Chains A and B, each alone.
Chain A
Amino acid sequence: MVSTLEPPVSALPGPRRADALIAIDHVDFYYGATQALHDITLGIEAKKVTAFIGPSGCGKSTLLRCLNRMNDLIDGTRVGRGTITIRGVDIHRPDVDVIELRKRIGMVFQKSNPFPKSIYENITYGLRLQGLKDKARLDEIVEKSLRGAALWEEVKDRLHTSGLGLSGGQQQRLCIARAIAVEPEVILMDEPCSALDPVATAKIEELIQELRARFTIVIVTHNMQQAARCSDQTAFFYLGRLIEYADTRDIFTKPANPQTEAYVSGRFG
């Protein structure tokens, strides 16, 4: 851990930017004429959990969706300035294939969205898209993914029933299993627990702890305790600006910025 050696200064774009897996460099982002992100610069390290926190409308989800270019799907959005590079590749370069990008960067949504297919088909969907047809291999991946998502024991007897028959927490874990089945490098989680009860939330958090060994995880959350519990680094956003980015421990114990302090201590947001 090198980060603690560096001074936690909010102006600094984040620890270990040089060797970051994902480097966000002076990014401005617009919805039509409204600027949603102002000059965001930060680096996200591989095999770590990075949490984006901040009050509603601060731009954290927008930034997350920039990372796999899901914002392309919304009319009138554009990156005004700056670059996002992943493994040194600018993801907005014209020769970057957005489909390939999304295969490498999985995403779990705020509202669990299993397809109205069987559990098995949900998991294999991404693999089939890539042309994988070998039944034995698919079975193997399904089991592995479900185990990875801590869901295997609960669903192994009903793999061919509809994914919509699961409980909310199970559905969200199914979505995580679906995302990890294609072996992405990064998993983006957009408030994955906001619609879940505390027990289900605890399970997802446990799962995140297990997944961090294999994947780089970026998680957007409203819940500061969650960020404190399961992330390594935390970025605090406010009104479309990155206010502070540092080790989670530091953010919660000795925030450098008074706004951060106000937020994490629950005085606003």
Chain B
Amino acid sequence: MSAGKHIFQSPASGFRRAERAWLWAFRLATYLVLACGLGVFATIVVKGSRTVFQTEAPFLNVRFLTQAPESLYVFDFEGRHYEQGDREHRAFVAAHPAAENVKKESLVYSAGGIFPCIVGTLLLVVGSMSIALFLGVAAAIYLNEYARDGWFIRFVRLAILNLAGVPSIVFGLFGFGLFVIFFGWNVSLLAGWFTLAFMVLPVVITASEESLKAVPKGFREGSLALGATKWQAISTNVLPYALPGILTSSILGVARVAGETAPIMFTAAYVVRDKLPWEVARAGDFFFQGVMALPYHIYVVSSKIPQNDYTERVQYGSAFVFLLLVALIATTSILLRNHLRNRYKW
């Protein structure tokens, strides 16, 4: 700042101070939001990693990731404190019959692991995203490449827009009414797949259309002028270039599919199931079985069992693994996109 007055000097008025205060208020709002997000994330990561990781080798709580949930028994016996899972406890009682009648606290789902839930969630995500991508990309191709403006297209677009706003619980009711009852699929993977797929359909269609639009018109004209049929032009000269974009934008869909609980509550999720999904009598049964799913499991363990030091482990652990899983799926899609984008550049 130079000394002396000149005509362009800033008028050091209250107005300027008010302006600065406002700009800071905007900044504060932004960082408050980020801080809240970070706070939630950090709490779950810090507390959850205590369950998932451990200090001695292999540094990973393998039991938690590979076993099914079971009840936890907490009791004092012969002067010692015990915390045992269901199976362990039964063996213990068999060895020490006196332990049978000791006063003990039993907490459901608080021991063991969450392996079946992880598997269930992965199955739900893969299945529903496959259906949604198939339907969504095809619909987007029609809308962007084939359709001519008219009432039909306006109608379809209106439907897509409105479908995007339908609450997830309504999708749950719909899936229940259509797949579970009307089609008689009962609570099953298939019912969950379709329910979730229809829920993310608008996301996938919109994302795919954006990516298709981003492919230069010249690619289409160039190949049509060489005598390609419409489909040849699309499949060889449009789709490959749109694919990275479609995948990236669909990550949002993946996060939604993996994260939603309401639609699968009555269509695909079981509170507890002994068998793993591949333990079926016939291959056809695979599609018609309900599964345990992580989001539903988190709902169950956070609402149906009391909050204390023993249950906290499984609660935070599940939430942490769930967040991690969603992040992992998203990262995979991003890597896949980068791989494709490096292959096709224009």
Contact = CB atoms under 8 A, between A and B. Distances in A.
Q: Check whether chain A touches chain B (CB < 8 angstroms).
A: yes
A149 to B, nearest CB: 14
Interface in B292-346: 344-346
Contacts of B67: none
Interface string A98-115: 011111101101010111
Binding site secondary structure of chain B:
helix
A55 interface: no
Given A130-B227, A182-B227, A115 B221 contact: no
A115 B149 contact: no
B39 interface: no
Contacts of A102: 224-228
A109 B227 contact: no
Interface in B206-230: 216, 218-229
Contacts of B216: 113
Interface string A168-194: 000000010011001000000000000
B159 to A, nearest CB: 21
Contacts of A113: 216, 218-219, 221-222
A116 B229 CA distance: 19
B149 A106 contact: no
Given A116-B345, A129-B232, A70 B221 contact: yes
A101 B224 CA distance: 10
Nearest to B241: A116
Given A116-B346, A162-B345, A103 B222 contact: no
Interface residues of B, number: 22
Contacts of A125: 223, 226, 228, 236-237
A103 B227 contact: yes
A70 B346 contact: no
A104 B225 CA distance: 9
A126 B221 contact: no
Interface in A133-178: 162, 164, 175, 178
B241 A75 contact: no
Given A75-B149, A164-B346, A115 B219 contact: yes
B148 interface: yes
Nearest to B232: A129
Nearest to A107: B225
B346 A106 contact: no
B143 to A, nearest CB: 13
Contact of A129 (B148, B227, B344): B227
Contacts of A33: none
A125 B232 CA distance: 10
Contacts of A130: 227
19 contacts: A70-B221, A70-B225, A73-B220, A100-B227, A102-B225, A102-B227, A106-B225, A111-B218, A113-B219, A116-B241, A116-B344, A116-B345, A116-B346, A125-B223, A126-B226, A129-B223, A129-B228, A179-B225, A179-B226
Interface of B: 148-149, 216, 218-229, 232, 236-237, 241, 344-346
Interface of A: 68, 70, 73, 75, 99-104, 106-107, 109, 111, 113-116, 125-126, 129-130, 162, 164, 175, 178-179, 182
Q: Give the 8 A-B residue pairs with the shortest CB-CB distance, closest first.
A: A113-B218, A103-B227, A126-B226, A107-B225, A116-B346, A102-B227, A113-B222, A75-B148
